[in-house]
Chains A and B, each alone.
Chain A
Amino acid sequence: MSTFIETMLGAAAGSVVTVEPDYIVINDGGCHAAVDDIAAVAAPEKVLVIYDHDVPTGRPEAAAVLRKNLAFAEKFGCRYIQAEGIGYQYMVNEVVKAGDIIIVGGLHSSIYGAVGALGINVSIPELARVTETGRYSVVVPETKYATLAGNLPAGVSVMDAALAFLQMAGDLKKTAVEFYCPTLDQHQKQVLCSMACITGAYTAGITLEEPAEALHLDLSQVTPMVMMPCESAAAQAQAAICERAGLAGMELQAGQIGGYTGGTIEELRKAAAYLEGKELALGFRLTVCPATSRDYIQAMEEGIITRFIDYGAQISAAGDHSIVIQGAGAMGPKERLITTGLYTFAGAMGCEDAEVYTASAESVMAASVSKRI
């Protein structure tokens, strides 16, 4: 039986394969650097240029990036997408189908595995090369299976499960991960897959058949987890993951829910349900970032945005706000943020000496009441 990655790439593990991806995504986050190196575009209809990171622009330099990306898209006839929210989630909602191969310069491209598509994270030079040639070559990686069985306890999120899995699995060393997780819903599978590569996996997918040999995580035993601050972006894969209970009582200044891990309609619903009858702690700043325009509109129609406003939250523009150098939600000197964003390196959310802790939307909302973990 072929693994997910073998099926997608059409060859057995260990063989060299060249494929023509269905989509190539270039955004204003890190990927825009590739634009500087692209002289031609092999298949413009497959290239999507997405403005989803610095929304609205927090620095003149960010505006210059947008100009560059827009000019690139116009020159080569690529699709230019803006104001739709975070690119990964937009692609999942609106573009990608099972069987597609998507090339992205981003750590969370494995999100597409949740819908049966293959997301591959490549370096900037590789992104430029694939855009120019329309081809991508790789040695098909080995696969590791993981079984996530049982049901999550109340107040525990799939994010906690994903963090617990990463803690358990350690460095996944460029293998493809396949999850057997029949109790998780589609949104939960997306969160799980999107986070699977944080510690070094190549990509992730979902299998519907229980694997014979697998890492095992009992979901009913998962407790709230936290990914700790780390020194630099390069050290993000080594950021420590630990149980939330170990940090209990730590004072915080702000919280943020957003991205595909906290800003989707499913997460916003949970967060809004949590705040019922509660009061935002004085001195705690809560930022809510709907993942996409679709999520934003849906949340407005369900009255969720208004409930957040009444609670005292700040509603950010739909988009990816997991790295904010300057813009809504930036943290000051020595402040501490708890966020559903997946980057905890120094400077990811403002000041170098601000500390960023990744946790579930439930953990962020709980902190908003007490100003503490």
Chain B
Amino acid sequence: MDKKFSGKIWKFGDDIDTDTIIPGKRGTIPTIEEMKKYAFELLKPEFGSTVQAGDILVAGTNFGCGSSREQAATVLSYNGVRCIIAKSYARIFFRNAFNSGILLLQCDGIQEVCAGGDIVTVDVDGQTVSVGGKSFPVGVIPENLFHIVANGGLIEDTKKRIAEGLVKLEVQPLTMEQCRKPGYTMAEKLLKKNAGKEHVEPGDIVITKPDMFMIHDIYTTYLVDTMNKIGADVIDDPDKVTIIWDHCMPTAVAKNDSAHYDAGLELAQRYGIKKLHIGEGICHSIMHEARYAKPGEIATATDSHTTTYGGAGNFCSGIGTAEMAAALITGELWFKVPEAIKIVLNGHLPDGIMSKDVILKILGDIKADGGQYKSLEFTGEAAHEMSMDQRFTVANMALEAGAKCGLFEVDEKTAQYYDMPLSEIDWVCIDEEAKYEKVLTYHVNELEPQLSCPQGVDNVHPIQEVLGTRMDEVYLGSCTNGSLEDMAIAAKILAGKKVAKGLRFIVVPATNRVFREAIRLGYIKTFIEAGGVISHPCCGLCCGMPYGLMTDDERILSTANRNFIGRQGTQKTLSYLCSPAVAAATAITGAVTDPRDLL
């Protein structure tokens, strides 16, 4: 692939979603070769039969939004599309496209002067795109990323790199002084430190060397397949890798789970990975509990809620299986530097109001796409007053706004949690000079308990609007709200009380450590005496595993992070999300109850 090339334009508008690119009903066609002719079949039926190799798509904002369907990128790649120019891209499509061998350029302006059928010229090194004699600037594309595209995608690129004798990227670490240089968002500071860049800005693509990689059991089988396809015998650094069995352990879905269990053991054995956590709890909670994801560092994992450790000032985001395979082998992973939104939390959280209420309120305000590929950066006295567990709750759910990461400033609580000198990590903080896309300010003193209602995480209502809604089941657990503090507040509310007749109350501590402590402190006894059911630490019902699946027209109130349709039962099960305090109060009465009335 040349650094300078021209192609014929196919023009599209804003918000082209992955269903428009390839309809969901075509998703089961067994091969991409067969599927590719249905690309854009509803919007531009002629596309599949007339697109030529080398054609270029020009689009508006949010190209590739919707599902995380990888085929949306691969059908374009198989149709010979090697470049897309758009005002902005949906987060997951952006990664999928590059990894499928498509060059994505961000440009605002060309859309107004070009038409379908025009010829656009791309100059990668010159950082411009031109049409009809007019040039427009585009962001920098690092050499390694260009190679991924030029080699036809990530898997092919990795195979080629291995064949040529893998040359590892040399990174000159930044000095503490360079880390402290003002004028950057926290995401920028974390990325530039790891990538060894003195300066970065939103839209730049940086190659990082993540400090920690986490694989969870859902993707072990696919990862084994991809590693086999690439033909990798060794990985970059097994000590930087942990495998955590949490979604499919305890094995519960008979036909599937044992294969994931076995594949995890196979990966561990084949690549010498020693940090194994089999049935010890939820991956994201273990990542900070075991101090794998540290402040000031970068972590990545095969799961969307990887944003959790942002609560400790760690840049962390989820990736797909192909990317994980390549990253394990090369030790490298590219990120686009995100824009950032500053969220100032003023005041003090009143009794009975938890950090879950804060993030639900924010999600209701900015909606599920309000943080699309953004870094949500939290500050303010209420943010600093939050415990580490409360911060992890907020960072965990930042993902539900589409955010790339959710970051808290490092402070003494962070340093104490990690037993690190604050002076080494205090550069992970908000700079007044940093450029934020916008600033949101909340006064948490006035906050009421919040509930996310059926069916969408961003359908958030204050408790007053939902009070008295009957529930059939209450679930306390997940990487969002399965911590010891969450157990503590629920136990305080439930002590000496009984769960409402017929209501199923299910408790799943996030990790073995939480479980042990909750036993020691008597919380588990309180739950059992109240009529609760305790399951072993795991992802459980949060990810739709069989730990309380429900039937038609039943309602569940859960402390987890998603209430998508069908996730906790059938298509007709109604799911609500809330804080542990609201969950416990509701378990007693059987209908949505304000915990402040019981505290």
User: Which A residues are within 8 Å of any B CB, using their own CB?
Assistant: 55-64, 66-67, 70, 74, 80, 82-83, 253-254, 282-283, 285, 287, 293, 296-297, 300-301, 305-306, 309-310, 312, 314-319, 325-333, 335, 350-351, 354
Contact = CB atoms under 8 A, between A and B. Distances in A.
B549 A314 contact: no
B257 A330 contact: yes
B278 A60 contact: no
A61 B551 contact: yes
A354 B524 CA distance: 33
B551 A55 contact: no
Contacts of A330: 251-254, 257
B14 interface: no
Given A82-B504, A314-B250, A328-B252, A60 B533 contact: no
A62 B534 contact: no
A351 B255 contact: yes
Contact of A63 (B255, B278, B549): B549
Contact of B549 (A55, A57, A293): A57
A87 B532 CA distance: 16
A335 to B, nearest CB: 6
A317 B252 contact: no
A28 to B, nearest CB: 11
Interface string B226-249: 000000000000000000000001
Given A56-B506, A58-B252, A327-B546, A333 B258 contact: yes
Given A285-B279, A300-B524, 19 more contacts: A56-B541, A57-B546, A57-B550, A58-B252, A60-B570, A63-B472, A63-B551, A80-B502, A310-B516, A312-B279, A314-B536, A316-B536, A326-B254, A328-B536, A329-B250, A330-B252, A331-B258, A335-B258, A354-B254
A328 B549 contact: no
A333 to B, nearest CB: 7
Contact of A282 (B259, B265, B502, B504): B265
Interface in B242-287: 249-259, 261, 265, 278-280
Nearest to B550: A63
Nearest to A332: B258
B302 interface: no
B554 A56 contact: no
B206 to A, nearest CB: 38
A314 B279 contact: yes
Interface of B: 249-259, 261, 265, 278-280, 472, 499, 501-502, 504-506, 512, 515-516, 519-520, 524-525, 528-529, 531-536, 541, 546-552, 554, 569-570, 573
B573 A297 contact: no
Given A283-B265, A309-B512, A83 B532 contact: yes
B569 A317 contact: no
B254 to A, nearest CB: 3
Contacts of A58: 252, 546-547, 549
B504 A66 contact: yes
Nearest to B568: A60
28 contacts: A56-B504, A57-B548, A57-B549, A59-B549, A62-B549, A63-B472, A67-B554, A80-B502, A82-B502, A83-B505, A254-B251, A282-B265, A283-B265, A296-B528, A297-B525, A297-B529, A300-B525, A305-B519, A312-B279, A317-B535, A318-B533, A318-B534, A327-B252, A328-B536, A328-B546, A329-B250, A331-B258, A332-B261
Given A300-B524, A314-B279, A329 B534 contact: no
Contacts of B570: 60
A328 B551 CA distance: 19
A306 B551 contact: no
A60 B549 contact: yes
A311 to B, nearest CB: 11
Contacts of B249: 285, 314
A329 B499 CA distance: 27
Contacts of B529: 293, 297
Contacts of A305: 519
B279 A326 contact: no
Given A80-B502, A282-B265, A314-B249, A300 B519 contact: yes
Given A317-B533, A330-B257, A285 B515 contact: no
A332 B516 contact: no
Contacts of A60: 549-552, 569-570, 573
Contacts of B546: 56-59, 326-328
Nearest to A292: B528
Contacts of B554: 63, 67
Contacts of B265: 282-283
B254 A325 contact: yes
A285 B251 contact: yes
Contacts of A319: 533
B258 A253 contact: yes
A322 to B, nearest CB: 15
Contacts of A306: 516, 519-520
A319 B506 CA distance: 13
A197 B422 CA distance: 67
A80 B252 contact: no
Contacts of B499: 83
A325 B259 CA distance: 17
A254 B251 CA distance: 10
Residue among A61, A293, A310, A318 with the most chain B CB within 10 A?
A293
Nearest to B571: A60
